[in-house]
Amino acid sequence: MPKVVISSKGESQSVELRSGLRMIMAGMQAGLDQYGFGDCGGNLVCATCHVRVKSGTFPAMKLDEQYLLETLPVIYPDSRLACQLIVTEDCDVEWVG
Ligand code: FES
C-alpha cells in the first residue's frame, strides 16, 4: 500500500492508503477533518482540502479543480485539491487549509 506523508503546521504524519483511493482519505485517517479538512466531502465545493504536493505523481489537473483553486487567496505551482488526487504511489503533501 502506498505511504502518504501529510504535514500540517510543521507536524507530519504518515498513513498507508490502499492504492486507487483519493488523498482526502489520507487526510481523514490523519485526523485533519477535525480542523476543517475536506468539509464538502470531496464534492469540489469547499477547497478546504488544498494541499501542496511535495513528491508523488498525479494525473493532470482538470478544469473544475483549477477553477476552484483559483478562488483561493493564495495558490502555489504545486497546489492541488486532495479530493481530486488518486493515490497510487508513495507521496508527500502539505495541507495548506
Ligand atoms: S473536499 Fe471540498 S473541494 Fe476537496
Give the pTM: 0.95
What's 37's DSSP letter? T
Q: Which fold has domain 3-95?
A: Ubiquitin-like (UB roll) (3.10.20)
Report the separation in Å between the CA atom of 40 and the middle of ligand 1, taken as the mean of its atom positions. Answer: 5
pLDDT, position 97: 77
Query: Cα dihedral sign for 11, 17, 19, 22?
Result: negative
Q: Grid coordinates standing for 77?
A: 505551482
Report the separation in Å between the CA atom of 1 and the middle of ligand 1, taken as the mean of its atom positions. Answer: 23
Cβ(32) – ligand 1 distance below 6 Å: no
Q: Which H or E run includes 79?
A: strand 79-81
Report the separation in Å between the CA atom of 37 and the middle of ligand 1, taken as the mean of its atom positions. Answer: 8
Whether residue 19 contacts residue 51, with contact meaning beta carbons closer than 8 Å, is answered with no
pLDDT, position 54: 97
Task: Kindly give the confidence (pLDDT) of every residue in the chain, 97 residues in length, as a single tens digit, with 9 standing for 90 and above.
Answer: 999 999 998 999 999 999 999 999 999 999 999 999 999 999 999 999 999 999 999 999 999 999 999 999 999 999 999 999 999 999 999 999 7
